[in-house]
Amino acid sequence: MIENNWIPEGSNKEKPSLCRIYDYLLGGNHNLAVDREVGDMYLEIFPTIKQGVQANREFLRRVVQYSSKQGIKQFLDLGSGFPAVGNVHNVAQKINRDAKIVYVDIDQGAVSHYLEILQRNKNATAIIGNYENPEKIIANTTVQKMLNFSKPIAILFVFGPQYITNDYHAYRVVDTLKKSMTPGSYLAISHSSWDGHSLEKALEIKKLYKRYNLEIHARSKDEVMKFFDDLEMVPPGLVNANLWKSDKYKQSIWDIEIDFKIWAGVGLKK
């Protein structure tokens, strides 16, 4: 695998990146040996984690399809990661070619790759940003030029809050996002969870996080549900990511017992 034509200068190639590990588990090419090493350790603990992250990606696509059909024409994708099959702009602009999208990620390599593929797309762009400071992202000049927060928007925080380990700060970040949304807007969240896992597996994954200095905080269903306070849940509510508005995967691989729990839901601001 070629590993030097997309990595920003000065990047630490010895430190794993959550963004690149996710890319590896999705079957992407934007990952390094150290990321694949950690990804393989994940697989030893959770053998179906690849199905889990694929289900998470499919959830993102279905959210974009659903909200687009509800009339949403602008999307803010926080923690977008590297481009993959079925990016937000691919899905949204297929339904409404005038849909506007801003991707936000802290990984310079991911943002650079988005900017490269979006050169001819006047309605989509990407910025480097830390979603732990949502006020700064919302006030960003590029974001303000592309998106109009006085009109309904879909904020996509898929696999986002789990990387904010402090509970108070995580809820504050999401509260700030909800306050920025006008009525008729949607907030999508997916989140890993220890629900249903054995204590042994939880301890194994925590050791892995500590070994590689990875910041991830799994939360229970009740804790994830709290992110949707003051919003109206879109049916079927907070469910396994592979089940959110999904008929396609019934009686298929997605009905296997995925041992990597992901809660997913969408809230509507009334």
Residues 150-174 have pLDDT tens digits of 999 999 999 999 999 999 999 999 9
- E strand intervals along the chain: 74-78, 100-105, 124-128, 154-158, 186-192, 232-233, 239-240, 262-268
Is the CATH number of domain 18-231+249-268 3.40.50.150? yes
Question: Which position has the higher pLDDT, 108 or 215?
Answer: 108
Residues 69-94 have pLDDT tens digits of 999 999 999 999 999 988 999 999 99
Cα–chain center distance at 77: 8
Q: What is the mean pLDDT of the chain?
A: 90
Q: Is residue 185 within 8 Å of 152, Cβ to Cβ?
A: yes
Percent over 70 (pLDDT), the chain: 91
Instruction: Domain ranges for the chain, please list them.
Output: 18-231+249-268
- Is 122 exposed, middle or buried, given 0-12, 13-18 or 19+ CB atoms closer than 10 A? exposed
Strands 262-268 and 186-192: antiparallel
Residues 226 and 135: their CA atoms lie apart, in Å, by 21
Dihedral angle, C-alpha 9, 13, 19, 25, nearest 10 °: 130
Residue 246 confidence class, pLDDT cut points 50, 70, 90: confident
Residue 251 confidence class, pLDDT cut points 50, 70, 90: very low
Residue 23 above 80 pLDDT? yes
- Tokens representing residue 203 in the block: 């301890």
Least reliable range by pLDDT among 41-45, 105-109, 127-131, 200-204: 200-204
Q: Residues with Cβ < 8 Å from 208, sequence gap 6 or more? A: 38, 41, 42, 45, 214
Residues 56 and 148: their CA atoms lie apart, in Å, by 27
- Tokens representing residue 69 in the block: 């059909």
Residue 1 above 60 pLDDT? no
